[in-house]
């Protein structure tokens, strides 16, 4: 994959066009919606990133966010001119990945978007096809996991972990490498967080055998 697709939902036409222009300079394909309901009608197209205003005609950003996250684990940035502390907390609780209060510099939004895109679609998976593993279809690009035709609900961390493991079947992965991929290099929490996410993935995808390598990390076996 060489081009990221971004769906921008902003009812201020001039601001939306400015943001669109800055993002297109990065080589991204940007679709600008002025109405929340119009954007909702395109949810199943699954872009790589959503940028949502909160106050929108037709459907507000909170409703749109819930619908997006119900479809797939796609990164979402909230932008808002309202009470930033209240909106930030509520947005994060509902599943947004970042928040930017108006007014902001378009360059800052692009920087945050880059960070989310690189985190969600690292170079090693950007050209990777969907993976079939023990009856599950794992798609690193759309960040979806299907059991036959049923879409499974995974959190962001669970999705990151299963993409990493499924992309490295048979390879031993240290806890340090898992933390680097799933949480990022700036994570300073306990390694037990890895064990907790592995436990949840085992429960949600019981046919995938995640082997514990005591004192080291984990490995997925092909059968």
Range among 1-15, 16-30, 70-84 with highest mean pLDDT value: 16-30
- pLDDT at res. 16: 94
Please state, as a whole number, how many other Cβ atoms lie within 10 Å of the Cβ of residue 204.
Answer: 17
Residue 191 has pLDDT above 50, yes or no: yes
Please indicate, yes or no, whether the overall pTM of this predicted structure exceeds 0.75: no
How many angstroms separate the Cα of 92 from the Cα of each of 80, 86, 188? 13, 10, 20
- Among 19-28, 84-93, 98-107, which is the least confidently predicted range? 84-93
Q: In DSSP terms, which residues pair with 98 in a beta bridge?
A: 77
Span 139-159, pLDDT tens digits: 887 788 998 778 888 888 888
What is the chain's length? 223
- What mean pLDDT, rounded, does the chain reach? 84
pLDDT value for 104: 87
* Calpha distance 148→137 (Å, rounded): 8
First to last CA, the chain: 29
Inter-residue contact 69 to 92 (CB < 8 Å):
no
Residue 209: CA atoms inside 13 Å, Cβ hemisphere, count? 9
Average of per-residue pLDDT across 113-136:
77
pLDDT at 50: 93
SS3 annotation, the chain: CCCCEEEEECCCHHHHHHHHHHHHCCCCEEEEECCHHHHHCCHHHCCCEEEEECCCCCCCHHHHHHHHHHHCCCCEEEEECCCHHHHHHHHHHHCCCEEEECCCCHHHHHHHHHHHHHHHCCCCCCCCCCEEECCEEEECCCCEEEECCEECCCCHHHHHHHHHHHCCCCCCEEHHHHHHHHCCCCCCCCCHHHHHHHHHHHHHCCCCEEEEECCCEEEEECC
Say whether pLDDT at 85 is over 60: no
Q: Virtual CA dihedral for 75, 95, 160, 101, nearest 10 degrees?
A: 50
What is the predicted pLDDT for the residue at 119? 78
Q: For the chain, list the domains and their CATH numbers.
A: 5-120 (3.40.50.2300), 131-221 (1.10.10.10)
Question: What strand order describes the sheet that includes 217-221?
Answer: 173-174, 217-221, 209-213
């Amino acid at each position: 994959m060489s081009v990221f697709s971004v769906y921008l939902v902003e009812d201020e036409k001039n601001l939306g066009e400015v943001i669109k222009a800055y993002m297109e300079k990065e080589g991204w394909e940007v679709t600008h919606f002025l109405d929340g309901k119009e954007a909702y009608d395109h949810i199943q197209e699954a872009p790589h990133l959503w940028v949502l205003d909160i106050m929108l005609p037709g459907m507000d950003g909170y409703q749109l966010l819930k619908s997006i996250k119900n479809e797939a684990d796609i990164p979402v940035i909230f932008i808002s001119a309202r009470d930033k502390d209240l909106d930030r907390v509520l947005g994060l609780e509902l599943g947004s990945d970042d928040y930017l209060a108006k007014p902001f510099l378009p360059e800052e939004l692009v920087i945050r978007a880059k960070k989310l895109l690189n985190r969600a679609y690292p170079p090693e998976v950007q050209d990777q096809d969907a993976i079939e593993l023990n009856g599950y279809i794992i798609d690193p690009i759309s960040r979806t996991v299907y059991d036959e035709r049923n879409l499974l609900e995974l959190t962001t961390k669970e999705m990151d972990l299963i993409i990493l493991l499924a992309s490295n079947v048979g390879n031993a992965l240290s806890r340090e490498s898992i933390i680097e991929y799933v949480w990022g290099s700036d994570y300073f929490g306990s390694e037990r967080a890895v064990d907790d996410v592995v436990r949840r993935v085992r429960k949600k995808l019981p046919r995938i055998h995640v082997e514990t390598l005591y004192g080291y990390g984990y490995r997925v076996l092909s059968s």
